Amino acid sequence: MILALPKGRILEDITSLLPRANIHPEDAFYDENSRQLRFTTNMPDVDIIRVRAFDVATFVAFGVAHLGIVGLDVLMEFDYPEIYVPLDLNVGRCRIVVAEPHTVARSDDPIHWSHVRVATKYPRLTQRHFVQRGVQVECIKLNGAVELATSLGLCERIVDLVSTGRTLKNNGLTEVEKIADVSSRLIINRAAWKTMPQAIAPLISQFEKATTAAKP
Amino acid sequence: MATKKEGILPSGFRDVLPPQADYEAAVVARLMKHFQSAGYARVKPSLMEFETHHAVQTTGAAGGSDDNRLKLMDPVSNHLMLIRNDFTTQVARIARTSLAHHPRPLRLSYQGEALCAHGSVLNPARQYGQVGIERFGNDDANADIEVMILALEGLHALSIPEMTLDLNMPPLTQALFEHFEIAPDVAVPLRHALNSKDKTAIAQLSGKGAPTFQQLIEAAGDAEVSVTRLQSLSLPLPAKRPLEQFIETAERIIKSIKHASVVLDPLENHGFAYHSGVTFSYLTRVQGRELGRGGQYNASATTSSVQRLPTGTRRTSRAPQRLRSAGALDAEPAVGCSLFVDTLVDSCPLPIEKVL
């Protein structure tokens, strides 16, 4: 079985969770300079792959990875029907928000929006959010450094993840609307859950125990 | 004229070349022979129907099917007509009209191509082959089991390895929604949460029903374990009967099944739009894909007085065609199963000589 883990933001939280779930990856996994992509673990039939967060969802949805850990933001963006989300791991907490420059926010009230142009890594999630609000939206898809979009004049608003809010502040931005709270979730491929319940169920409970143990 | 940028064919379509085309035909023929030898007579439904007729053929727990059908304006009648995206509703229409006078149970089989308006990210194909059976007349567990086992034996004859039969019960969800008075605006996200086993979202959305939904999700899994867990649950009164029916079918399947493992997941409702009883799907571990699906539904006649097809199309079935007034028969229980040709071809390990 293959467990897909995301690079970046939440990997640190996850690496502290793995030993508590009794999954011990080989040493190379903890070596940031390692170019290895697939890692063995103490469990002979469980391997780990380390990929970009969006790709975790894709690998698991297509069933080539059987389970994975990914933020709710990614799940909301893709909304794959083939993914089960049985467990909130309570790590990687943050929120997905609409933000705009302080200067704009001073005289702007989101209630009066009828058309907005937004730069984001999450065009589908953004589209859905604004459609529900009855606001016409144009999304500009970026793959990172979304905060630059407003300072360089690409558009006036962004939709992005915020944890402490420091990056927003440093770029002269203010949060004006929260779309959702985000945390990391254990995800399982539907066909894997159905065709190998004896192997999947114990892994879910291992993660469940690790999550409960982590709660203060 | 299409430019290079658009490709040769519209997205989601492809040509099948030799020898794959022969292989695909052999797989389909093998299954049709299997179904016909069990008494399921072949019908060939019309490719197109009027929109008004198609919509009301089948009713069930979740109501209405996903509107993923390609629609065209019929230049002859000036009415909207659509290309089938599923055979079940069409075969149900035939059973309720042209073949309404036939004694029950009525057993029909079919094969052919269906068309979706949109593909998905996971499966971009818009044209796909179906092979299947529909059985009209009884709603007891015998009918469910006959269809489930017959289709499974067909898959086994193709030597498809490591199969799982997944059993679900959409009416149970419906009964619980009514009992716990789930508001219509919550029903959609709650169904989504149940289908993705998202316990956090279920807890947020289902109010006082949360413990019941959680228990049913926890009870899902390997059939032998799951039956015991489900039997120990104490559900609200309206949900008791659907659960009992589900457990009865599950127990009988566990006893009679030979070529697949069984998983019970009563609350899942993956694409079962019009079903009114136990539903099921076949999966294979090797491809991690769905081989086919089916279940119990109510086949009803159309509301119009005369069944009409767009001019120039005709229905071929073994029975003499005859138009009859609908409404003469109320909805009748039916069980059906459709197998997906693309997945079968990818999952069948046999060389073509062995398939035939």
DSSP string covering B37-60, please? Answer: HTT-EE-B--SEEEHHHHTTSEE-
Is B58 a residue whose pLDDT tops 60?
no
Give the pair of three-digit tokens for residue A213: 């143990």
Given an 8 Å threshold on Cβ–Cβ distance, is B288 in contact with A63?
yes
Q: Please measure the distance between the N-terminal and C-terminal CA atoms of chain B and give it in whole angstroms.
A: 41
Is B330 a residue whose pLDDT tops 70?
no
Does the CB of B259 have a partner CB in chain A at under 8 Å?
no
Q: Which of B249, B60, B273, B40 is CA-nearest to residue B165?
A: B249
Contacts of B265 in chain A (CB under 8 A): 194
CA of A136 vs chain B CAs: smallest distance (Å):
22
Helix axes B237-256, B223-231, angle to 10 degrees: 150
Is B62 a residue whose pLDDT tops 80?
no
Residues of the domain holding A81: 2-92+183-214
What number of C-beta contacts closer than 8 Å exist between A and B? 63
Q: What is the pLDDT of residue B64?
A: 38
Give the C-alpha distances (Å, rounded to integers) separating A82 from A206, B88, B200, B327: 22, 23, 18, 40
Q: Based on the fold, state whether residues A47 and A64 are members of the same structural domain.
A: yes
Q: Report, as an integer, the average pLDDT of A156-167.
A: 94
Contacts of A185 in chain B (CB under 8 A): 198
Q: Which of B186, B172, B160 is CA-nearest to residue B287?
A: B160
Rounded-to-integer distance, Cα A125 and Cα A122, Å: 6
Over the stretch A47-90, which tens digit does the pLDDT of each residue have? 999 999 999 999 999 999 999 999 999 999 998 999 999 999 99
Given an 8 Å threshold on Cβ–Cβ distance, is B289 in contact with A190?
no
Which residues of A make CB contacts under 8 Å with B? Answer: 61-64, 78, 80-88, 185, 188-192, 194-198, 201
Cβ–Cβ under 8 Å, residues B167 and B269: no
DSSP letter at B291 equals E
Q: Based on the fold, state whether residues A172 and A196 are members of the same structural domain.
A: no
Share of chain B above pLDDT 90, in %: 72
Rounded-to-integer distance, Cα B244 and Cα B12, Å: 42
ipTM of model over 0.90: no
Q: What is the pLDDT of residue A27?
A: 92
CA of A188 vs chain B CAs: smallest distance (Å):
9
Q: To which residue do tokens 């905060």 refer?
A: A147
Q: Based on the fold, state whether residues A65 and A98 are members of the same structural domain.
A: no
pLDDT-based confidence at residue A215 (cuts at 50, 70, 90): low
Mean pLDDT of all residues in chain B? 86
Tell me the three state secondary structure of residue B78. coil
CATH homologous superfamily for the domain B15-162+300-356: Bira Bifunctional Protein; Domain 2 (3.30.930.10)
Tell me which residues of chain B, numbers 174 to 213, contact chain A at a CB-CB cutoff of 8 Å: 195-201
Q: Based on the fold, state whether residues A121 and A98 are members of the same structural domain.
A: yes
Number of domains in chain A: 2
Rounded-to-integer distance, Cα B201 and Cα B224, Å: 28
Q: What is the pLDDT of residue A185?
A: 96
Is B61 a residue whose pLDDT tops 70?
no
Does the CB of B346 have a partner CB in chain A at under 8 Å?
no
Q: Based on the fold, state whether residues A103 and A167 are members of the same structural domain.
A: yes
Q: Which of A78, A88, A192 sits opposite B200 (nearest CB)?
A: A88
Contacts of B201 in chain A (CB under 8 A): 85
Residues with Cβ within 8 Å of residue A134, at least 6 apart in sequence: none
Over the stretch B204-243, which tens digit does the pLDDT of each residue have? 999 999 999 999 999 999 999 999 999 999 999 999 999 9
